[in-house]
Structure 1
Amino acid sequence: MFGLIGHSTSFEEARAKARSLGFDEFADGDLDMWCSAPPQLVEHVEVTSRTGKVIKGAYIDSVFVPEMLRRFKTAKRKVLKAMELVQRSGIDITALGGFTSIIFEDLNLLREERISAVQLDWQRFTTGNTHTAWVICQQVERNAPKLGIDLARAKVAVVGASGDIGSAVCRWLQRTGVGELLLVARRPQPLVALQESLGEGRILPLEEALPEADVVVWVASLPQSLTIDTDSLKRPCLMIDGGYPKNLDTKAAAAGIHVLKGGIVEFWQDIGWQMMELAEMAVPERQMFACFAEAMLLDFEDIHTNFSWGRNNINLAAMDLIGEASLRHGFKSLGLEPASSSSPALSIA
């Protein structure tokens, strides 16, 4: 059995979700009440692979909202209590999604081995980052040529290159053979270490990397205050929004700039669930975050272990394995053209 730990994108959206699910006491509560509220197992689901295998899963809402990010103790408690509920529910493998994964890594929750009376079993959890990185690389490889971009000669900027997903994307694209990698991140020292491990790549500040790039893979958080000079960008330019939340399209809307929601996949058939409709997916019956899909894939493959775990531990062999499983069981990365007949176009042209 697989599990998915998620959360709402805002407090107001969370209250609306609570009301739609019949949790009126949550819908009427203020932020302080939500800070003390326990996680909720809100939905069970059954999923059938293209191979015919059937698995069962559950969605756990951590009752966390982004407005709690500055309340570090609250954020930490929300994630750990959700993990405790997962383990008490006997779920074999669970993916941390959205900010729950970020909180887990940034606050180093591995130090917290016991929650209440439960000894946490780390083998039951995965960040889903390996599948996310693989999906983003597929989006680059499949969509750049559609815009006339030859990856063998293209400059690809990876913003957030020293992070878990960013470094994995760099290693994959190096193997693919792109023209040049442009490495961008806030802290210089991890970038230098990444550059040394790759044996290539040019370290640049963001404002210098963007005008040079044919492709931009954005896997860092996008500050609200950031502005992008779209007049300085190449035409065409493919931008993969692999961060969270996905709001790059609001910063880079211009003719010839194609912004694609990164790290999202579409399943081969409809799934009878509500959770992705609440996550504002374009085709909520089939689409989901790639990190969530990793938990499903691991359950389909009977790999009940923390497949993606720790920072910068993703390797190409693991990306190959999860990618092959993704295709076999019926997942497809979002592209510039609609992934299904009901999908809207995702490019800005």
Structure 2
Amino acid sequence: MFGLIGHSTSFKDARQKAMDLGYDHIAEGDLDVWCSAPPQLVEHVKVVSAIGKTIEGAYIDSCFVPEMLSRFKTARRKVLNAMELAQKKGINITALGGFTSIIFENFNLLENKQVRNTTLDWERFTTGNTHTAWVICRQLEINAPLLGIDLQKARVAVVGATGDIGSAVCRWLSQRTGVSELLLVARQQQPLKDLQKDLGGGRVLRLEEALPEADAVIWVASLPKNLQIDKSKLRKPCLMIDGGYPKNLDEKFSGSGIHVLKGGIVEFFEDIGWNMMEIAEMDVPQRQMFACFAEAMLLEFENCHTNFSWGRNNITLEKMDFIGEASLRHGFSVLRLQPNNLQAAFA
């Protein structure tokens, strides 16, 4: 069985979802009540792949909401409690989705293996970052040519280049896609220089320097709230792949010649009888999901019950190949630009 650990996009949405599920006592509570609310296994599902393999899974709502991010102890407890529940339910492989993965990595929850009387078995959990990195790379390779962007001649900026997903994306684009030039952007300079050395190329730039040069921009970092960019200075066409969380590039960059694509999202080949992706505000919630969630499904399809994506900078091209081939074989496709976006590009 596979598991998915997720959460609502806001406190308001979480309260509405709890009301819909019949948890009135939680739905009517304030944020302090939600901080003490335990995780809930809210849905079971059966999925049949494109090659006829059947698996079963469960969705666990961590009862975490983004408004809790400033409460370190609460955020930490929410993720660990949800992982404990997944393990107690006997789930073979569980993906950490949304902020739960970010909290796990940034707060170094690997140091917290004991949750009450349960010793967490790390082999049962995955961040899903390998599949996310592969999906983002494929989204660039598929969609850039549709806008007339030749990747062999293009400059591609990776914002958040030194992170787990960002560094994997950089390695893939450098060695597999063969983009003309990588523009490396991140907050800390020394890790950027180390990445540049590891890649054997790429230019280290500040965000405001990279954006006007880039034919495509891959965001695997949160959009700075105070970012002020003159859109008239950006190249056109420009493809922006929003691989961060939450996905909010549309608010800053959408406009003529700038094409924003939700990054790290896949679509299954047929409808799945679940409600869980409505929480994530997917355009087609019966088929679409975050690539990190799909990684848990793929590992279950492949009987590969292991922490496939774990720690920082452990994603190899071989792992990306494995999970990418499995993704295609079992019926997943990457999210693409909508036809109206393409028509506008050549209008």
Alpha-carbon contact 2:147-2:342 (below 8 Å) kept: no
CA distance in 1 between counterparts of 2:280 and 2:98 reads 11
CA distance in 2 between counterparts of 1:89 and 1:347 reads 48
2:190 equivalent to 1:192: no
Comparing 289-298 with 220-229, which one deviates more in the overlay? 220-229
CA distance in 2 between counterparts of 1:282 and 1:255 reads 22
Q: Which residue of 1 aligns with 2:202?
A: 201
Secondary structure of the 2:137 match is helix
Secondary structure of the 2:183 match is strand
Secondary structure of the 1:245 match is coil
Q: Which residue of 2 aligns with 1:47?
A: 47
Structure 2 length-normalised TM: 0.97
Secondary structure of the 1:251 match is helix
Query: Once the 2 structures are TM-superposed, how far is the Cα of residue 312 of structure 1 from its aligned partner?
Result: 1.0
CA distance in 2 between counterparts of 1:346 and 1:266 reads 19
2:259 aligned partner, one-letter code: H
Query: Once the 2 structures are TM-superposed, how far is the Cα of residue 337 of structure 1 from its aligned partner?
Result: 2.9
Alpha-carbon contact 1:156-1:214 (below 8 Å) kept: yes
CA distance in 2 between counterparts of 1:223 and 1:63 reads 26
CA distance in 2 between counterparts of 1:228 and 1:290 reads 29
CA distance in 2 between counterparts of 1:89 and 1:346 reads 45
Alpha-carbon contact 2:133-2:169 (below 8 Å) kept: yes
Alpha-carbon contact 2:282-2:289 (below 8 Å) kept: yes
1:192 aligned partner, one-letter code: K
Query: Once the 2 structures are TM-superposed, how far is the Cα of residue 222 of structure 1 from its aligned partner?
Result: 1.3
CA distance in 1 between counterparts of 2:69 and 2:171 reads 31
Q: Which residue of 2 aligns with 1:229?
A: 230
**Residues 105-131 of structure 1, C-alpha deviation per residue, up to 9 Å, x if partnerless?**
000000011101001000000000000
Query: Once the 2 structures are TM-superposed, how far is the Cα of residue 61 of structure 1 from its aligned partner?
Result: 0.3
Runs of 4+ in 1 over 4 A off after TM superposition: 344-349
**Residues 183-224 of structure 1, C-alpha deviation per residue, up to 9 Å, x if partnerless?**
000111110110010010000000000000000000001122
Alignment of 1:111-122 (within 5 A): 111-122=111-122
Q: Which residue of 2 aligns with 1:341?
A: none
2:96 aligned partner, one-letter code: L
Alignment of 1:169-180 (within 5 A): 169-175=169-175, 176-180=177-181
CA distance in 2 between counterparts of 1:334 and 1:201 reads 27
Query: Once the 2 structures are TM-superposed, how far is the Cα of residue 225 of structure 1 from its aligned partner?
Result: 2.4
**Residues 242-268 of structure 1, C-alpha deviation per residue, up to 9 Å, x if partnerless?**
000000011002100000000000000
Q: Which residue of 2 aligns with 1:91?
A: 91
Q: Which residue of 1 aligns with 2:137?
A: 137
CA distance in 2 between counterparts of 1:345 and 1:216 reads 17
In the alignment, structure 2 segments of 5+ residues that lack a partner are none
Alignment of 1:46-65 (within 5 A): 46-65=46-65
CA distance in 1 between counterparts of 2:343 and 2:78 reads 36
Q: Which residue of 2 aligns with 1:327?
A: 328
Q: Which residue of 2 aligns with 1:241?
A: 242
CA distance in 2 between counterparts of 1:151 and 1:168 reads 18
**Residues 13-60 of structure 1, C-alpha deviation per residue, up to 9 Å, x if partnerless?**
100111111111111000000001100000000000000010000000
2:103 aligned partner, one-letter code: I
1:60 aligned partner, one-letter code: I
CA distance in 1 between counterparts of 2:162 and 2:33 reads 37
CA distance in 2 between counterparts of 1:188 and 1:116 reads 40
CA distance in 1 between counterparts of 2:343 and 2:168 reads 25
2:77 aligned partner, one-letter code: R
1:140 aligned partner, one-letter code: L
**Residues 258-313 of structure 1, C-alpha deviation per residue, up to 9 Å, x if partnerless?**
00000000000000001111211000010000000000000000000000000111
CA distance in 2 between counterparts of 1:61 and 1:348 reads 39
1:311 aligned partner, one-letter code: R
CA distance in 1 between counterparts of 2:42 and 2:228 reads 38
1:269 aligned partner, one-letter code: E
Secondary structure of the 1:266 match is strand
* Superposition RMSD in Å: 1.2
Structure 1 length-normalised TM: 0.97
Alpha-carbon contact 1:263-1:290 (below 8 Å) kept: yes
1:103 aligned partner, one-letter code: I
1:22 aligned partner, one-letter code: G
Query: Once the 2 structures are TM-superposed, how far is the Cα of residue 346 of structure 1 from its aligned partner?
Result: 9.2
2:102 equivalent to 1:102: yes
CA distance in 2 between counterparts of 1:75 and 1:222 reads 21
CA distance in 2 between counterparts of 1:111 and 1:117 reads 16
Alpha-carbon contact 1:218-1:241 (below 8 Å) kept: yes
Aligned length: 344
CA distance in 2 between counterparts of 1:348 and 1:241 reads 19
Alpha-carbon contact 1:161-1:191 (below 8 Å) kept: yes
1:96 aligned partner, one-letter code: L
Alignment of 1:205-220 (within 5 A): 205-220=206-221
Identity %: 73
